[in-house]
Chains A and B, each alone.
Chain A
Amino acid sequence: MLEPDGNGGLTSQPISTNGSPKIGVYVCHCGLNIAGKVDVKAVVEFASTLPNVAVARDYKFMCSDPGQELIEKDLREGLINRVVVASCSPLMHEATFRRATAVGGQSPFYFQMASIREQVSWVVADGEDATDKAKALVAGAVRRVALHEYLEPRRADVHADVMIVGGGIAGIHAALTMAEAGKHVFLVERESTIGGHMAKFDKTFPTLDCAACILTPKMSQVRSHPNITLWTYSDVVGVEGYTGDFTVRVRHRPRYVKEELCTGCLECIEKCIHKQGKFADEWNEGLSKRKPIYIPFPQATPAVVDVDPEACIWFKTGKCPRTCIEACERDAFDFEQTETFDEVKVGAIVLATGFKAFDAARMPEYGYGLYPNVYTSLEIERLLNAAGPTGGEVVLRDGSHPKVVGIIHCVGSRDAKHNLWCSKVCCMYSLKLAHMVKERTGAEVYNFYIDMRTPGKGYEEFYDKILKEGVHMVRGRVAGVTDEAASPEEEGRLVIRAEDTLIGSVRRIPVDLVILAVGIEPQPDAQDVRRTFNISTGVEGFFTERHPKLAPVSTFTDGVFLAGACQGPKDIPETVAQAGAAAAEALAMVDRGFVMLEANTAFIDEAACSGCKTCVGLCPFSAIGFDEERQKAAVNEVVCKGCGVCVGACPSGAAQQHLFTDAQIFAEIEGVLAYV
């Protein structure tokens, strides 16, 4: 048996506790995924000639129960004591086969995987080349596994609290789900209120139920739930630790109002020295003006006013009678507030940071910002909203009602010049806007679309209903919007020039109002968030899930989960479903109370350590201490994350890494080169 060496590691000599290596090699067909390209029988035959190989078999699906049973049986019968599976990527099934190895009665780490699907059959054109490469990878794994050592799986306690970043509908739903299950939730939102994009909408497709009516009760539930700590005006500035034990640093930006005292009576807004709103109201997409002290919308949660220091006279000049303070009966103002920080420990994190709407100004051909009556879909949502700047009326900038409205689909989406992806929600919300604009104004509505995409429960039926209402559908991409009239009826109006592929001609359609159906993009700071939480994004910038089908809410960083449009374009039902899934996955982790950690920590072979301290300074996690008296380095296994940087740098080979010792890697190098 291995003896603890007093510095948290195990003695470094690869002493086998299970006798001389008897290796079982299992080559998976993966249906035809591997066997269609690689000559599986040839690989098995080759493997059986390799040193220490006692058994070599192939099977249709190694990951299936009978496949795993093959391994377990050979182990139990003592035919083998180490396992190599040549199949898919270890990122896919390493855990599965380690489990089978453990079930067979060996340490799960007497296992090595050779990826002959992702690395071979799926990427190599020629069958003979593929078979050769598969053999080489199998040989590498066989050589290496012979040197694997006995290791115990590491177990770590999981902190029971959870954190959710982003308070849109995804974050809200995930927070409530976990809070209801009895977990304490920290919900961090950077805006002054939760609600996200959904709170800005008037109605939701295809049921046309009012967004506020379904969302605001959930918002107030969040506010009042004893298990939820809601932090608005806050952002995560640092994450340390690992799955089950994250330390998250949260910054609270000043709102100059004490949240716990403000009752949301709004008296101060009334009494502000500014008699009229003067500053663009972000909540209404700049379509109205607000005062320096304001509340984004009546049901904002928390119902606390914000002070905008960029606009407030007191902040700008220091000269203001501060009538707001006088008006406040609770003495809730605190103009001296500064940034504060909190540090909390959580077991799991759900990212629900949402999306950004495509900036329509990036497509100047559609005239956004040039022609006042070209609006984005979000602006129209605010105009349609009864709590919006016009009380729900769709009006032109001069206050008159439009008679003809054009809705341009796919703005920024499905466009090689901008975003290649389909934003998924625009067809449906454009139909919704068409219906609502027609209903409120009686205008003729034209939709300009490339393809209508309406998959979803009740979606196609909704499309059908809108068609029957007499909304005009023009199939073709819009070339541009112009105010240059080519005929008397175009005078003073906007003209949409588009190809109509159904009648095979180019059309000019004069309208009064243009709505740009802007697409969904990653948040502009998605890359910063990615770095903070140590996850990855795709090329387009949405966060990458662990597996597109089987782990759609997990990430490659254990304990960090995804919900909503930060992972890709989604509508509300999908977002809520995913938020529930993320909550369930996080719950499964924190509720169990512990996680199993990788065994790949570093350790120091004291006999070889010269005390040079090279490793001490290199460790990014300060996991290596130094015993001055004995002049030896020592790894703190709990803090070590298993990168192996110290091992690569150690001049005497004293620093080693479990599962990645120098000897094991040298053996693997030799293996992949020696035979084929």
Chain B
Amino acid sequence: MSEDTSRPFEPKIVAFFCNWCTYTAADLAGISRMQYAPNVRAIRLMCSGRVDPQFVLAAFHDGADGVLIGGCHPGDCHYQEGNHNARRRFELLRLMLRDMGIEDERVRLEWISAAEGDKVQRVCNEMTEQIRALGPLRLVTVPRWHAEEAPAEHVELVGQVTS
């Protein structure tokens, strides 16, 4: 992507919203005319459990500065437990993204029920603000082992993944 210097940096955020809760919540935000940052581009999936970690990587590869995943609250999944799967994958993916030098703020998993149009608004605005502050995504090109910090943090974090 060539950088356009005439306009200040505006992050691009790709969102994966589940059909039943978060996409419906985004519809509700629309029906209620809640204004929020135009930076989020939503892709509808049937379930947050459909989110393949590769989608997130592909989004970053294709020029996204952030990725938002929205699913039903735990216990409310239209398909019983797809959102639990999404969460487990997300935690693992996050470790990998950290190793790639992608800041935590750039990937976010949120439970947003069909009634929470205001949460869509809040999360989209928050994320846009945070990523605007971070600046465009710049993937780390320096190999990890050249960095000064100890590379062991993911070892302790593995324990949190199982749930």
Contact = CB atoms under 8 A, between A and B. Distances in A.
A529 interface: no
Interface stretch (A396-404, A466-474, A627-635, A645-653): A645-653
B139 interface: no
B116 interface: yes
Nearest to B86: A648
A537 B115 CA distance: 7
B63 interface: yes
Interface in A637-661: 641-645, 647-649, 657, 660
Interface in B10-30: 12, 14, 19-21, 23-24, 26-27, 29-30
A123 B14 contact: no
Interface string B51-93: 1101100110011100000000001101111100110010000
B100 interface: no
B161 interface: no
Contacts of B80: 620-621
Contacts of A126: 38
Interface stretch (A564-572, A575-583, A666-674): A666-674
B13 to A, nearest CB: 10
Contact of B64 (A115, A118, A641, A673): A673
Contacts of B116: 539
Interface string B32-63: 01111010011111110111101100110011
A600 B58 CA distance: 22
Nearest to B19: A91
Interface in A516-550: 530-531, 534, 536-539, 544
Interface in A399-433: none
B60 to A, nearest CB: 10
Contacts of A668: 43
Nearest to B47: A643
Given A123-B36, A649-B85, A534 B50 contact: no
Nearest to A117: B30
A123 B34 contact: yes
A119 B75 contact: no
A113 B106 CA distance: 27
B85 A618 contact: yes
Given A125-B35, A137-B41, A670-B62, A89 B27 contact: yes
Contacts of A140: 41, 43
Nearest to A129: B38
B31 interface: yes
Contacts of B24: 91, 536, 556
A136 B62 CA distance: 13
A495 interface: no
B42 A119 contact: yes
Contacts of A644: 45-47, 49-50, 82
Interface residues of B, number: 50
A536 B21 contact: yes
A156 interface: no
Given A140-B41, A645-B82, A674 B63 contact: yes
A498 B6 CA distance: 63
B114 interface: yes
A487 to B, nearest CB: 49
A132 B85 CA distance: 34
B28 to A, nearest CB: 8
B62 A669 contact: yes
Nearest to B89: A648
A674 B2 CA distance: 11
Contact of A123 (B33, B44, B58, B85): B33
A600 B26 CA distance: 22
A648 B41 contact: no
A133 interface: yes
A544 B78 contact: no
A122 interface: yes
B79 A641 contact: yes
A123 B124 CA distance: 11
A115 B44 CA distance: 10
A648 B89 CA distance: 9
Interface in A116-145: 117-120, 122-126, 129-130, 132-133, 136-137, 140
Nearest to A644: B50
A89 B30 contact: yes
Contact of A673 (B14, B26, B51, B121): B14
23 contacts: A122-B30, A123-B36, A130-B38, A140-B41, A536-B24, A536-B76, A556-B20, A620-B79, A620-B81, A621-B80, A643-B47, A644-B47, A644-B82, A645-B82, A648-B85, A649-B89, A668-B43, A669-B14, A669-B58, A669-B64, A670-B58, A672-B14, A673-B59
Given A118-B30, A669-B43, 16 more contacts: A115-B42, A119-B30, A124-B38, A536-B21, A536-B76, A557-B78, A618-B85, A643-B50, A645-B79, A645-B82, A645-B85, A662-B52, A665-B43, A665-B52, A673-B59, A674-B63
Interface of B: 12, 14, 19-21, 23-24, 26-27, 29-31, 33-36, 38, 41-47, 49-52, 54-55, 58-59, 62-64, 75-76, 78-82, 85-86, 89, 113-116, 121
Interface of A: 89-92, 115, 117-120, 122-126, 129-130, 132-133, 136-137, 140, 530-531, 534, 536-539, 544, 556-557, 600, 618, 620-621, 641-645, 647-649, 657, 660, 662, 665-666, 668-670, 672-674
Q: Which 4 A-B pairs have the closest CB atoms?
A: A118-B30, A644-B50, A643-B79, A645-B49
